[in-house]
Structure 1
Amino acid sequence: MKTLTILIPEGQNNLSSVIGPYKFFLKANKHYRSLGKEEIFRVQVAGVSGDSELYGGLFSIHPHASIRDIARTDVLIIPALAHENLEEVVKQNEEAVNWVLGQYRKGAEVASICTGAFLLAATGLLEGRSCSTHWNAAAKFREMFPGVNLQTDRLITDEYGIYTNGGAFSFLNLMLYLIEKYYDRSTAIVCAKVFQVDIDRNSQSPFTIFNGQKNHSDDVVLQAQAFLEKHLDAKVNMDELAGNLSVSRRNFDRRFLKATGNTPVEYQQRVKVEMAKKSLETGRKTVNEVMYETGYSDVKAFRDLFRRITGLSPQAYRNKYNKDVVDNVY
C-alpha cells in the first residue's frame, strides 16, 4: 500500500484544506473496499512541531506523525497557508521546505492547495514551471517567485509529478483529479456525487475579482491607472496618454508592466470587464447596454474579450450570477 501524507506546516491556519483531502481519500479507499479491491493509500497527517492550534485555539490538529519520522511518502499534499504574512510563514518553514524537496527527490509526487503553492515554490521545484494559486495572492506570489510561470486562470496544473490548484474550495476539484489519477474515473465520480462537487471544472477565472494592482510606488503608472479607471467608456489612445505623462510609449509600457503585471491595454481591458461583470451581476441592463457602457461597440469583440478573461460569455455570466436575470439577449 502506498502512503499519502498531508503536511501541517508551521503557522498552519487553514482547516478545510486539511480535512478535505483527508476525507476524500478515505472515501476513495472505502469505495475501493466496497468493490473488493485493496485500498490505494494509507492516509496520514504529518506535522512539523506536534499539535497545531488554528483560529485562535478554536480548533486543533493532532498529526499522526512528525515529518522527522517519515523517511519516504508516495504522495504529499501541502494545504493552504494563511493569506496574511505569507513571506513570514514561508521563512519559518525552512525545515518543511527542505523535507518537501527531499521527498520529491526520492520520488514522491507533490500537490499544493491554494496558497500552499508559496511553500512549494520555496523549494525551487516550480522554477520555470507552471503553477496556480489563489488569484488574490497572485501579486505577492509573482513578487516572491518571479521565475515561476503563474497561471491564476488555471484551476489545476500538472507537471512532472507536481500539482497545484487555484483558491479556496477549488481544491476539491484537485482532489477529484488526483483520485481519478490514482484510483479511476468511476471512483472520482462517486466522490464527486457524495461530496457534491462539479467534476471537470478547470478554470477559476469566473471567480476572479480584479481590484487593480496599486501596491507599487510608480507615480506615473498610478496616474495612468486612475485615468483609465475614470474613462471606462472611452477608447483611450495609449500613445497620447504616455505623452501626457511625459514618458515615451516604450518606457510607459515597460513601467506599467513591471508595476502591475499587465500592459496598459490589458489593464484597461480588465478594468472594463470588471465593470461589466458588476453590471451583469446586479443590474437589469441588457448585455448590449453593458457593452456600450464599457466603451465597446463590436459585439463579437466584447464577447471574445469577456470570455477570455472570465471563461464565460457575458450572457452565461449573467445567467450564473444574477438572480433577477431577465430574458433580454443581444
Structure 2
Amino acid sequence: MKHLTLLVPDGQSKLSSIICTYKVFLKANAFWKNIHGSDRFSIQLAGISDEVEFYDGLFSVKPHVNISKIAKTDLIIMSALNNHDYPGSISRNKPITDWIVKQYKDGAAVATMCTGAFLLASSGLLDGKSCSTHWAAEGTFREMFPKVNLQTNLLITDENGIYTNGGAFSFLNLILYLVEKYYDRETAILCAKMFQIEMDRNSQSPFIMFTGQKQHGDEMVLQAQSYIENNLQEKIVMEQLADTFAIGRRNFDRRFIKATGNTPVEYVQRVRIEAAKKAFEATRKTINEVMYDVGYSDVKAFRDVFRKITGMSPIAYRDKYNKESAVA
C-alpha cells in the first residue's frame, strides 16, 4: 500500500482544497478496494501544528500526524494558500518545505494546488521546471521566483514527479489527474461522475482576465502601456512608439519584457483580446464587429491570436459566456 500525505500548512490555506482532496481519495480508495480487495493509499493529513484554524477561527483542522512522524511517503499534496502574505506563509511553513525536499529526494512525488506553488517554489524544487498557479498571482510569483518556468495558461503541469495546477477550484481537475495516474482511468471516471467534475481540462486560459502588469515601477513602460490600452483601434508601430520615448527599439523591447513579462507585441495582443472577450460577454456584436473594434482587420489573424490566448475560438467563447447568444 502506498502512502499519501495531505499537507495542512500553518496560516490561512484553502480549507476546501483539503476537504475535497480527502473526500475524493477516500472514494477512490473505496472503489479500488471493492475491486482489488485492499486500499490503494493510506491517507494522512499532516502538518506542523496540532490544530490549524481557518477563516478567523470559524473552522479548524486537526492533522492526523506531525510531519516529523512520517519517515517515508509516496505522494504529497499541498493545499492552496488563502491569503496574499506569501513571504509570511513561506516563513511560517519552512519546516514543511524542508520536509518536502527530503521526501522528494527520497522518491516521493509532490503536487501543489493553486497558490500552494509559492511554498513549493520557495524550496527550490521548481527552479528550471514548469509550474502553474492562479493567473491573478502571476506577477507576484514571477517577481519572487524568476528561476521557475511559470505557465499560467496551463491547468496542470507534470514534470519529474512534481505536479502543479492553476487557480481556485481547478484543483479538482488536478485531483482527478492524480487519481487516474495512481489508480486508473476507471477510478478517475467514477470519481468524476460521483463528484460531478469535468474531466480532461488542460487549460485555464479561458478564465484569465488580463489587467496588464503595472506593479513594476518603470515609468516609461507604464506610459507605453497606457498608450497601447487607449489606442486599440490604431495601427501601433513599435518603432514609432519607441521613438516617442527617445529610445531604440531593442532597448524598448528589453525594458518592456523586464517590466511586464511580455514583448510589446504580445502585450498589444493580450490587451486587444481581453477587450474582445469583454465585448463577446456583454454585447451582441458580430465577430467582425468586435474584431474591428479591437484593432484587427484580418479575420484569420484575429481568430488565431484569440485561440492562442484563450484556448477557444471567438465563436465558442461568445457562445459559452454570452447568455443572450446561448438563448438565441
- TM bucket (normalised to shorter chain) is over 0.9
1:67-104 C-alpha deviation (Å, 9 max, x unpaired): 11111111100110124111221122111110110111
Q: Distance in 2 between matches of 1:62 and 1:301?
A: 54
**For residue 130 of structure 1, what is the aligned residue in structure 2?**
130
| 1:18 partner letter | I
Residues paired across the two proteins, number = 328
**For residue 164 of structure 1, what is the aligned residue in structure 2?**
164
**Contact 1:83–1:115 at 8 Å: present in 2 too?**
no
Q: Distance in 1 between matches of 2:113 and 2:83?
A: 12
Residues 51-200 of structure 1 mapped to structure 2, 5 A cutoff: 51-200=51-200
**Contact 1:83–1:137 at 8 Å: present in 2 too?**
no
1:176-231 C-alpha deviation (Å, 9 max, x unpaired): 11111111101000000111111000000000000100001111000000000000
Q: Which runs of 5+ in 1 are unaligned?
A: none
Residues 317-328 of structure 1 mapped to structure 2, 5 A cutoff: 317-325=317-325
Residues 288-327 of structure 1 mapped to structure 2, 5 A cutoff: 288-325=288-325
**For residue 258 of structure 1, what is the aligned residue in structure 2?**
258
**Contact 2:135–2:167 at 8 Å: present in 1 too?**
yes
Give the secondary-structure state (helix, strand or coil) at the position aligned to 1:115. helix
Q: Percent identity?
A: 60
Cα offset, 1:327, TM superposition: 9.1
**For residue 3 of structure 1, what is the aligned residue in structure 2?**
3
Q: Distance in 2 between matches of 1:50 and 1:202?
A: 36
Q: Distance in 1 between matches of 2:280 and 2:83?
A: 29
**Contact 2:28–2:179 at 8 Å: present in 1 too?**
yes
Q: Distance in 2 between matches of 1:172 and 1:9?
A: 19
Give the secondary-structure state (helix, strand or coil) at the position aligned to 1:324. helix
Q: Distance in 2 between matches of 1:88 and 1:242?
A: 40
Q: Distance in 2 between matches of 1:327 and 1:115?
A: 36
Give the secondary-structure state (helix, strand or coil) at the position aligned to 2:7. strand
1:83-135 C-alpha deviation (Å, 9 max, x unpaired): 41112211221111101101111111100000111111111111111111111
Cα offset, 1:36, TM superposition: 4.4
| 2:323 partner letter | K
Give the secondary-structure state (helix, strand or coil) at the position aligned to 1:284. coil
Q: Distance in 2 between matches of 1:36 and 1:183?
A: 11
Q: Distance in 2 between matches of 1:12 and 1:70?
A: 23
| 1:172 partner letter | L
**Contact 1:13–1:55 at 8 Å: present in 2 too?**
no
Change in Cα spacing, 1:57 to 1:327, as seen in structure 2 (3 Å) is: closer
**For residue 217 of structure 1, what is the aligned residue in structure 2?**
217
Q: Distance in 2 between matches of 1:271 and 1:141?
A: 21
Q: Distance in 1 between matches of 2:197 and 2:326?
A: 28
**Contact 2:48–2:67 at 8 Å: present in 1 too?**
yes
After the TM superposition, which segments of 4 or more aligned residues of structure 1 sit over 2 Å from their partners?
33-37
Q: Distance in 2 between matches of 1:224 and 1:36?
A: 62
Q: Distance in 2 between matches of 1:78 and 1:234?
A: 46
Give the secondary-structure state (helix, strand or coil) at the position aligned to 2:12. coil
Change in Cα spacing, 1:84 to 1:284, as seen in structure 2 (3 Å) is: same
What is the aligned-residue RMSD (CA, Å)? 1.2
Cα offset, 1:270, TM superposition: 0.2
Cα offset, 1:247, TM superposition: 1.2
Cα offset, 1:8, TM superposition: 1.0
Q: Distance in 1 between matches of 2:327 and 2:7?
A: 49
Give yes or no for the alignment of 1:34 onto 2:34: yes
Give the secondary-structure state (helix, strand or coil) at the position aligned to 1:60. strand
Q: Distance in 2 between matches of 1:25 and 1:12?
A: 23
**For residue 230 of structure 2, what is the aligned residue in structure 1?**
230
Q: Distance in 2 between matches of 1:67 and 1:36?
A: 29
Change in Cα spacing, 1:36 to 1:326, as seen in structure 2 (3 Å) is: closer
Q: Distance in 2 between matches of 1:253 and 1:20?
A: 44
**For residue 269 of structure 1, what is the aligned residue in structure 2?**
269
Cα offset, 1:281, TM superposition: 0.6
Give the secondary-structure state (helix, strand or coil) at the position aligned to 1:42. strand
